[in-house]
Amino acid sequence: MPGQRREGLEGVMAERETWTVEEFGAAHEGAIGVLLADGTVPQPVYFGLSSGPGGQSVSQWSVYDGRFARVPKAAALRGLCSCGWTGTEHPLDWDEIGERALWEGGDDAADASERDWFSHIDEVEESALPLPETLTELLTQVQQEIERLSKSSPLAALRAVRRLEVIAVEVGYWAAREARQDATSAQAAAALGLSEDTARELLARFGRWSPYG
């Protein structure tokens, strides 16, 4: 799910395109990072407003084309994740890019970086606590049935979704309470494929206690 956020994944406040998957959310938020020729990560590029004070800091990979004095030229792109993972470096061939805009000439490296992030997400999913196969199949079947129902009767599909919400609230309460007793925050995070903070928030939401308590 693509989006925009102000906090860059390398710790600097700047605008850049990011994406997530529903299950892991912000705990594994992806983006495309930039490396310069010396291997360092560039600072965000600041674009001032011509009509007055103010401006915007941007760390979107496609702005690093070296065409302006304060804009460095990217040497390579790589996938990033908010969990700290970084992907393989994909060099940019500026002889091949030529006079084209970087968003166009560097799209192969950008696509490869994004695919690396999705491979990382596959690894996160594989390392999480596996669900019983019968339950996985049942959940998939329920999703498919509701999707089919939404085409013929959207309101009936919404009622089904609402029923699922009620079930999740009821069952999740006791599951969270038991998990709180049986597992540490680190163990819960590993089992769920989340950061410790996100895992604590999830348990608190279902278990109905304060995550700060």
Tens-digit pLDDT string for the chain (213 aa)? 554 443 444 444 468 999 999 999 999 999 999 999 999 999 999 877 665 566 788 999 999 999 988 899 999 999 999 999 999 999 999 999 999 999 999 999 999 999 999 999 999 999 999 999 999 999 999 999 999 999 999 999 999 999 999 999 999 999 999 999 999 999 999 999 999 999 999 999 999 999 886
Please return the burial class of 151, using the count of CB atoms within 10 Å of its CB with bins 0-12, 13-18 and 19+. exposed
The values of phi and psi at residue 74, to 5°, are: -70, 140
**pLDDT value of residue 46:** 86
pTM of the model: 0.81
Q: Which residues, in sequence order, are bridge partners of residue 15?
A: 58
**pLDDT value of residue 15:** 87
**pLDDT value of residue 213:** 66
Rounded CA separation 28/17 (Å) = 14
**pLDDT value of residue 43:** 93
Q: DSSP secondary-structure letter at 193?
A: T
